[in-house]
Amino acid sequence: MNLTILTGTSRGLGAAMAEQLLQADSVVLGISRHANERLAAKAQAMQLRFDQWTRDLSDPAPVAEQIELYLGAFDPARFDEVALINNAGVLTRIGPLDVCSSAELSAALRVGLEAALLLTAAFLRATQGWRARQQRRCKVLNISSGLGRRAMAGSAPYCAAKAGMDHFSRAVALDEALRSGGGAKIVSLAPGVIDTDMQVHLRAADASGFPDQSMFTDLKAKGQLATPHDAAARVLAYLRHTDFGVNPVADVRDA
């Protein structure tokens, strides 16, 4: 029996991952600002366990507390594997940093980085002593981006959130390696370039403040964007790799 907590499940990669995680031997908790009614209906029709919370991760502390309570209600020996997938993110207006309001910038960092940090801490606290943790089958998967490793003009908030995600994953991996009672495995994974609403946003940006705009237009025109379904399959396959966690910062295309 597996348990997965996944953020950003209302659309795109998150929705595709949630759908593929819906299995007879699984419990899935999806967290997003808006409910995914299609997934809820599918889970109900197939009699699968899909818990769904509508939460705004720009205020992540209460969500982290709720996750601890949620996990605390389970028998620590129930699951063979448990995972947290931090997928939610916010893309601000494309262009120089000062075109974004303080509220936009704060939300981008809170959803893209602070929420991942707080939810990971809550997940690690709540799974202390779990059988899956003791057997090193407790995993945190952070959905990062190549932009966390390569700066791009017009995208400073997104680059900052993903770079922070990469580095906090490296540090947590070092912490978990020191635990004698069973450490969790953590990876910050770039999932490749995916045909989602984010790509629509990038292609529609004003090229005067976003010199890479034509690159994203070309990717779409040449059919080089992965579908959310295919990208989700590759990401989840990576999550199941026996060597998951060996490299705390990775790219799915290198698997």
pLDDT reported for residue 218: 63
Local confidence band at 63 (pLDDT 50, 70, 90 cut-offs): very high
Residue with more model confidence, 214 or 23: 23
Residue 6: pLDDT band by 50, 70, 90 thresholds? very high
The full 3-state SS of the chain, as one line of letters, equals: CEEEEEECCCCHHHHHHHHHHCCCCEEEEEEECCCCHHHHHHHHHCCCEEEEEECCCCCHHHHHHHHHHHHHCCCCCCCCEEEEEECCCCCCCCCCHHHCCHHHHHHHHHHHHHHHHHHHHHHHHHCCCCHHHHCCCEEEEEECCHHHCCCCCCCHHHHHHHHHHHHHHHHHHHHHHCCCCCCCEEEEEECCCECCHHHHHHHCCCHHHCCCHHHHHHHHHCCCCECHHHHHHHHHHHHCCCCCCCCCEEEHHHC
Half-sphere exposure of 107 (CA within 13 A, CB side): 11
Report pLDDT digits (tens) over 158-170: 999 999 999 999 9
pLDDT at residue 83 is higher than 90: yes
CA proximity to 71, closest of 136, 138, 16, 17: 138
How much is the average pLDDT of 207-233? 73
Euclidean distance between the first and the last CA atom of the chain, given in angstroms as a whole number: 26
Better-scored residue on pLDDT, 201 or 33: 33
pLDDT at 204 exceeding the cut of 80: no
The predicted structure's pLDDT at residue 196? 67
Q: What is the pTM of this model?
A: 0.93
Can you give the pLDDT at residue 226?
A: 76
Of the ranges 150-159, 212-221, 228-237, which is most confident?
228-237
User: What is the predicted pLDDT for the residue at 254?
Assistant: 84
